[in-house]
Structure 1
Amino acid sequence: MFDIHMTRLHELTVVIYAFSVLLYFFDFIHHNRKANRAAFWLLAFVWILQTVFLFLYMMKTGRFPVLTIFEGLYFYAWVLVTLSLGINRLLRVDFIVFFTNILGFIVMVIHTFAPVQYGSHIIGQKLMSELLLIHITMAILSYGAFSLSFVFSLLYLFQYDLLKKKKWGKRLMRLADLTKLENLSYLLAVIGVPMLILSLILGLQWAILKVPGMSWYDAKVIGSFIVLTTYSIYLYLRIGRNLAGKTLALWNVGSFLIVLINFFLFGQLSSFHIWNS
């Protein structure tokens, strides 16, 4: 019973941690103070849950939990969260907190979903299924964000063409202005990229544990990283190069075509990427 409750506590912690990292990413990209504050309080809640687990585990074992690699991983994740919270409150170095917690989240995922730490084989198998489920769900949600971003870019290109050809009419009036379409397309890409990153982290963790000898040259693995790269370049062009307009919209459309290729073609070519655990 204790193991089951601890499993649920870990899963809740990972989910909240993921939301915190997503919000920190949004603040990193968009300089949004509200997102930063929300991310901080979610991270604080993660720290509370981690601390509760540490005390419960110490009460059960009667010792400090650092004697095994899995205990050490959990304590390491707790230390990273503790330090990042302290840095955020004392030094106000927000980007340090963001990058520190990407590492902390990876460590937390490895600890939570590594089945050998649990005495029950059934619990371990159940965790593997849940890990795969979370990975697939986050991947699909990121693809959904990219799909909407693609639609807004298409509308942008359509509106741009109408304005360039001076085709005034009801169709033009029904479309949003170019700035709004471009901003919505960008915002959805900002949402999709960190979700895809977290999905890849979870997916790689599942594959390493469940697919011995997994080939890193698998079509689906390569395709997923190509998708991540193209959308990361899109964000860089928008933020780092201040690129806007038709060129950026075309890049976004091209990036989504890679999403479709990865989803429909590379999935069929993959040697292990199937919809089951």
Structure 2
Amino acid sequence: MFELSMTRLHEVMVVLYALSVLLYFMDYLQKNQKANRYAFWLLGIVWVLQTIFLFLYMTRTGRFPVLTLFEGIYFYAWVLVTLSLAINRLMRVDFTVFFVNIIGFIFMAIHTFAPVQAPNEAAAEQLMSELLLIHITMAILSYAAFSLSVVFSILYLLQYRMLKQKKWSQKLQRISDLTKLEKGSFILNMIGFPMLMLSLILGVQWAIITLPSMIWYDAKIFGSFLMLGIYGVFLFLKVSKGMAGKSLALLNLAAFLFLIINFLLGSRWSSFHFWYS
């Protein structure tokens, strides 16, 4: 019962950690202090839960938990969260905080869904099913964000075309202005990108544990990471290079078309993504 309760506690921590990473990513791109504040408090909750577990584990075993790889991974994840909180509060180096949390999330997920944590084979299988469920759910949510984003881009292109042709119709008045459409598209991609990235991290961990003989150049895996790279380029061009307007909207449209191709064809060509076929 203790092991099962601790497993559920870790699953809650992974979800809260993922939300914190998402908010830190939004703050990193937009200097959003509100997102930074919420991310900090979510990470603080994760740290409190981690510390409680660490204390309970030490009380139960009667020693400091660093003697096994399983224990070391957890302690390492706890140290990273502690450092991340300290950096966020004392140094305010947002770039560092975001990437420290990415590393911390990876090791937290490894610890949470490691088979050694399950007391028996049935529990291990359930744990793997839950890991797969979280992976797929986060991927679908990221796809939803990208889908809404491309709708904004399509509306942007329609509005741009009507303005260029000076068609002052009722349709023009019903579509939002270009600035809001571009901002909406960017914000949705900013949400979808870290969600997809975290989903792929969990998916890779599931594959390593469940499919040791898996082919790493599988069409779905390659396509998913390539898609992550394309959306990463979109955000980079928008934030660092200042790309805007029609070119950015067309890039977003191309990225979404690749998403559709990867979702439909990549799954059919994949050696193990059979649930999408």
Give the SS at the match of 1:275. helix
> d(CA) in 1 for partners of 2:228 and 2:94?
24
Q: CA RMSD in A?
A: 1.0
**How many angstroms does 1:95 deviate by?**
2.0
Question: Which residue of 2 is the match for residue 221 of structure 1?
Answer: 221
Q: Cα deviation per residue 1:115-167 (whole Å; 9 max; x = unaligned)?
A: 12333222211110000000000000000000000111000001111111111
Give percent identity, aligned residues only: 65
Q: 1:25-44 to 2 correspondence within 5 Å? A: 25-44=25-44
> d(CA) in 1 for partners of 2:231 and 2:2?
43
Q: Which amino acid aligns with 2:18?
A: A
Q: 1:20-169 to 2 correspondence within 5 Å? A: 20-169=20-169
**How many angstroms does 1:100 deviate by?**
0.6
Q: Cα deviation per residue 1:46-66 (whole Å; 9 max; x = unaligned)?
A: 000000001111121111111
Question: Which residue of 1 is the match for residue 206 of structure 2?
Answer: 206
Could you tell me the TM-score, scaled by structure 2's length? Answer: 0.98
Task: Give the gaps of 5 or more residues in structure 1.
Answer: none
> d(CA) in 1 for partners of 2:247 and 2:89?
41
CA contact (8 A) 2:7 2:117 kept: no
Which consecutive aligned stretches of 4+ in structure 1 deviate over 6 angstroms post-superposition?
A: none
**How many angstroms does 1:92 deviate by?**
2.1
Q: Which amino acid aligns with 1:197?
A: M
Could you tell me the TM-score, scaled by structure 1's length? Answer: 0.98
> d(CA) in 2 for partners of 1:110 and 1:225?
20
Task: Give the gaps of 5 or more residues in structure 2.
Answer: none
**How many angstroms does 1:246 deviate by?**
0.5
Q: Which amino acid aligns with 2:93?
A: V
**How many angstroms does 1:112 deviate by?**
0.6
**How many angstroms does 1:85 deviate by?**
1.1
> d(CA) in 2 for partners of 1:251 and 1:60?
55
Question: Which residue of 1 is the match for residue 272 of structure 2?
Answer: 272
> d(CA) in 1 for partners of 2:149 and 2:175?
15
> d(CA) in 2 for partners of 1:87 and 1:148?
34
**How many angstroms does 1:274 deviate by?**
2.6
Question: Which residue of 2 is the match for residue 193 of structure 1?
Answer: 193
> d(CA) in 1 for partners of 2:89 and 2:179?
36
**How many angstroms does 1:88 deviate by?**
1.8
Name the stretch that deviates more: 12-21 or 117-126: 117-126
**How many angstroms does 1:170 deviate by?**
0.6
Q: Which amino acid aligns with 1:264?
A: L
Q: Which amino acid aligns with 2:118?
A: Y
Question: Which residue of 1 is the match for residue 239 of structure 2?
Answer: 239
